[in-house]
Chain A
Amino acid sequence: MTVALLEVENLKTHFFGRRGVTKAVDGVTFSVEKSEIVGIVGESGSGKSVTSLSVLRLVDAPGRIVDGTIRFEGRDLLAMSREEMRRLRGRRISMIFQEPGTSMNPVLKVGFQIAEAIRSHERVTDAEARRRTLELMDLVGIPDAAHRIDQYPHQFSGGMLQRLMIAMGLALSPALLVADEPVTALDVTIQAQILDLLRDLRDRTEAAVLLITHDMGVVAETCDRVLVMYLGRVVEEAPVDKLFDAPLHPYTQGLLGSIPKIEEKVEWLEAIPGSVPSPHDVPSGCRFSNRCPKVMDVCHTAEPPLIEHGPGHRVACYLYTTEAEEDRG
């Protein structure tokens, strides 16, 4: 098997606050292949954003990556110096953020900022930077780029700004684009356009995308593979069609069950009982045990490992452990 583009193993990112240690990410393992779109879904506080920031080593104090390895293109990111890491960011891995409106410097022209992304890593003439900026703006579908290149961010709509952010992210054809909730702040029609754009750009530039979202609809539309996170751990990992056809983990089932279906008329939507526990106060055993409808005794005592259940489909739940053993045996 060839080496994956990004391999994250047993990643633990903890925050050392006044009220004790918050284990935002607590043993996450996943990989992203070349030109693959991998989605990470989960509720607020599940650790999906911290996971994405950890990949770029952008976790600020009091947060710290305490354990695990992150290998990108075969190199260990956690062993890199600050300067090596800086040269990697933007060039090989780039990131786009949730709020396009605040992700751009309000006092500089957009063209300058995209050109700056190129200039920060390559020596180019002004004319060359401008030509490439125009190309990028065309690539992400900004109409009348030649005119808009000299405008300020406040003169663009949210959707257009997110296109510009993507252009900045792709300026140096990175191998991996980390997108942290790229469409959450946009309205639905624009969301569809941006997601189409991401898929289209993936096909053309062969950049892999790590897409962080809480929206199952976004996952279904865009991703090739999905990780479901709950309280800092991956509870299920599957190809996107498998996840929607046959979700295994009770949490995933609960998430999908809470989405209204167009073919059924129901009075009440199912909801997962209770709410996400505080990360200071994680239940012992399986983290989902206090809300799980199929909870068993073993769930309270030990944490289920993430085990293979079908090709590319892994789940961390005791409901499937014996089954899986029989399959292998």
Chain B
Amino acid sequence: MRSCAFRVPDPSFSLLPVTGNLVSHEQLEELKALAPNVHVVRGDMDEACPSSLPASAPFPDTKVVTIGELRLGLCHGHQVLPWGEAAAWYRWLRAPIMRLMDVLLAFPGIVIALTIIAILGRGIENVILAIAIYQIPQFARLAHGLALSAQEQTYVEAAVAGGESDVAILSRYVFPNIVAPIIVQVSLLIPGAIMTAAGLSFIGLGVPPPTAEWGAMLQLSLTWGRLAPHMTIFPGLALMLVVFGFNVLGDGLRDALDPRLKGRG
């Protein structure tokens, strides 16, 4: 059984990780005897050292976080967008909701995420929740702003004059007209969510091992990277490609969602 050493508190043993990646159990015991102050973490290679196995985990848990965030995003979208719309439609709701959003916006997102992780503890679900919560105000403000302009359109006035209920107006007249920018915003915030998740893992507050995570891999590569540059390059490249991919997706969605551009060469 092979193990790997995680942290090297003493700089004089900086060479150890290189061998540590490859040492056998027996060798490790020898090393421990030689240098008792080396902190050695033992475990199954596949679980404890995912960073050394990028090929076996081409899509590590960043994907899970993304899908989870997306699901939660759409779900909080369902809850947040109506609030943004409602804040635009009902004047008396405007101040309480939007000022609350301003308060949330006043903190850098990562601080809110850190606070939530600190309260709830580490774990995939908590990372997803933390990211989803700090992104709420961005959606609420976008929905509010878009709804403010959409509801001034004549067709909304016409709908009111036609005796439509408030719910029908918000869901069938305002919502479809603001949903395209929101979807684009979702696709643009996904990279942000991935980066935040990676960032949280990087500082050790994200998805805990043994789950593979790009941020955690990069963190590992800080100590190992000079001698094993692939540990920096591949997770970094994967992150970059996914983030870039979602940006392209956002661009494509914006074009695809405009009904006026439909059916035109």
User: Which positions in A face B, CB cutoff 8 Å?
Assistant: 56, 58, 61, 86-91, 94-99, 102-108, 116-117, 120-121, 152, 154, 165, 168-169, 178
Q: Tell whether, in the assembled complex, residue A89 and residue B160 are in contact, meaning their CB atoms are under 8 Å apart.
A: yes
Q: Tell whether, in the assembled complex, residue A117 and residue B162 are in contact, meaning their CB atoms are under 8 Å apart.
A: yes
What would be 29 A-B contacts, judged by CB atoms less than 8 Å apart?
A56-B161, A86-B164, A88-B163, A89-B161, A89-B162, A89-B163, A90-B161, A90-B162, A90-B164, A94-B162, A94-B163, A95-B162, A102-B154, A103-B155, A103-B158, A104-B155, A105-B172, A105-B173, A105-B176, A106-B155, A106-B259, A107-B176, A107-B177, A108-B176, A117-B162, A121-B163, A152-B259, A154-B260, A178-B161
Task: Please name the residue on chain A nearest to B158 by beta carbon.
Answer: A103
Which among B165, B168, B259 is the interface contact of A107 at CB below 8 angstroms? B259
A154 to B261: give the CA distance in the assembly, Å: 11
Which residues of chain A are within 8 angstroms of B255 by Cβ–Cβ distance? none
Q: Tell whether, in the assembled complex, residue B154 and residue A108 are in contact, meaning their CB atoms are under 8 Å apart.
A: no
Q: Least Cβ distance of A211 to chain B in Å?
A: 15
A42 to B164: give the CA distance in the assembly, Å: 30
A120 to B161: give the CA distance in the assembly, Å: 12
A42 to B162: give the CA distance in the assembly, Å: 26
Which residues of chain B are within 8 angstroms of A104 by Cβ–Cβ distance? 155, 158
Assuming the A-B contacts A107-B176, A152-B259, are A102 and B165 also in contact, with contact meaning beta carbons closer than 8 angstroms in the complex?
no
A95 to B160: give the CA distance in the assembly, Å: 10
Q: Tell whether, in the assembled complex, residue B172 and residue A108 are in contact, meaning their CB atoms are under 8 Å apart.
A: yes
Task: Please name the residue on chain B nearest to A121 by beta carbon.
Answer: B163
Chain B 25-65 interface 0/1 with A at a Cβ cutoff of 8 Å (1 = within): 00000000000000000000000000000000000000000
A55 to B160: give the CA distance in the assembly, Å: 13
Which residues of chain A are within 8 angstroms of B91 by Cβ–Cβ distance? 61
Beyond the given A95-B161, A103-B154, A120-B164, could you list 12 further A-B residue pairs with CB under 8 A, ordered by the A residue number? A58-B160, A86-B164, A90-B164, A94-B162, A96-B158, A97-B154, A97-B161, A104-B158, A105-B155, A105-B173, A107-B177, A116-B168
Task: Please name the residue on chain B nearest to A107 by beta carbon.
Answer: B176
**B122-155 contacts to A (CB < 8 Å):** 153-155
Chain B 160-194 interface 0/1 with A at a Cβ cutoff of 8 Å (1 = within): 11111100100011001100000000000000000
Assuming the A-B contacts A107-B176, A108-B176, A116-B172, are A86 and B163 also in contact, with contact meaning beta carbons closer than 8 angstroms in the complex?
yes
Q: Is B157 an interface residue (CB 8 A)?
A: yes
Q: Tell whether, in the assembled complex, residue B157 and residue A97 are in contact, meaning their CB atoms are under 8 Å apart.
A: yes
A108 to B156: give the CA distance in the assembly, Å: 13
Which residues of chain A are within 8 angstroms of B165 by Cβ–Cβ distance? 86, 120
Q: Least Cβ distance of B147 to chain A in Å?
A: 14
Q: 7 shortest A-B CB distances, which residue pairs?
A: A90-B163, A89-B163, A90-B162, A95-B161, A102-B154, A107-B176, A105-B155
Task: Please name the residue on chain B nearest to A119 by beta carbon.
Answer: B168
Q: Tell whether, in the assembled complex, residue A102 and residue B161 are in contact, meaning their CB atoms are under 8 Å apart.
A: no
Which residues of chain B are within 8 angstroms of A95 by Cβ–Cβ distance? 158, 161-162
B contact face: mostly helix, strand, loop, or mixed: helix
A91 to B162: give the CA distance in the assembly, Å: 7
Q: Least Cβ distance of B134 to chain A in Å?
A: 30
A102 to B172: give the CA distance in the assembly, Å: 16
- B contact residues, range: 20 to 34
Most chain B beta-carbon neighbours within 10 Å: one of A87, A99, A103, A169: A103
Q: Least Cβ distance of A305 to chain B in Å?
A: 33
A217 to B176: give the CA distance in the assembly, Å: 39
Q: Least Cβ distance of B173 to chain A in Å?
A: 5
A61 to B162: give the CA distance in the assembly, Å: 20
Task: Please name the residue on chain B nearest to A101 by beta carbon.
Answer: B154
Q: Least Cβ distance of B201 to chain A in Å?
A: 40
Most chain A beta-carbon neighbours within 10 Å: one of B162, B165, B173: B162
Which residues of chain B are within 8 angstroms of A90 by Cβ–Cβ distance? 161-164
Most chain B beta-carbon neighbours within 10 Å: one of A87, A91, A102, A154: A102
Which residues of chain A are within 8 angstroms of B173 by Cβ–Cβ distance? 105
Which residues of chain A are within 8 angstroms of B161 by Cβ–Cβ distance? 56, 58, 89-90, 94-95, 97, 178
Q: Least Cβ distance of B98 to chain A in Å?
A: 18
Which residues of chain A are within 8 angstroms of B162 by Cβ–Cβ distance? 89-90, 94-95, 117, 120, 168-169
Q: Tell whether, in the assembled complex, residue B154 and residue A106 are in contact, meaning their CB atoms are under 8 Å apart.
A: no
A56 to B161: give the CA distance in the assembly, Å: 7
Task: Please name the residue on chain B nearest to A85 by beta carbon.
Answer: B163
A97 to B162: give the CA distance in the assembly, Å: 11
Which residues of chain B are within 8 angstroms of A169 by Cβ–Cβ distance? 162
A87 to B160: give the CA distance in the assembly, Å: 11
Task: Please name the residue on chain B nearest to A109 by beta carbon.
Answer: B259
Which residues of chain B are within 8 angstroms of A58 by Cβ–Cβ distance? 157, 160-161
Q: Least Cβ distance of B164 to chain A in Å?
A: 5
A45 to B260: give the CA distance in the assembly, Å: 35
Q: Least Cβ distance of A258 to chain B in Å?
A: 30
Q: Least Cβ distance of B166 to chain A in Å?
A: 9
Q: Tell whether, in the assembled complex, residue A87 and residue B158 are in contact, meaning their CB atoms are under 8 Å apart.
A: no
Which residues of chain A are within 8 angstroms of B163 by Cβ–Cβ distance? 86-91, 94, 120-121
A4 to B101: give the CA distance in the assembly, Å: 52
Q: Tell whether, in the assembled complex, residue B158 and residue A106 are in contact, meaning their CB atoms are under 8 Å apart.
A: no
Which residues of chain B are within 8 angstroms of A103 by Cβ–Cβ distance? 154-155, 158
Task: Please name the residue on chain A nearest to B180 by beta carbon.
Answer: A107
Task: Please name the residue on chain B nearest to A92 by beta carbon.
Answer: B163
A152 to B154: give the CA distance in the assembly, Å: 16
Task: Please name the residue on chain B nearest to A153 by beta carbon.
Answer: B155
Q: Least Cβ distance of A292 to chain B in Å?
A: 36
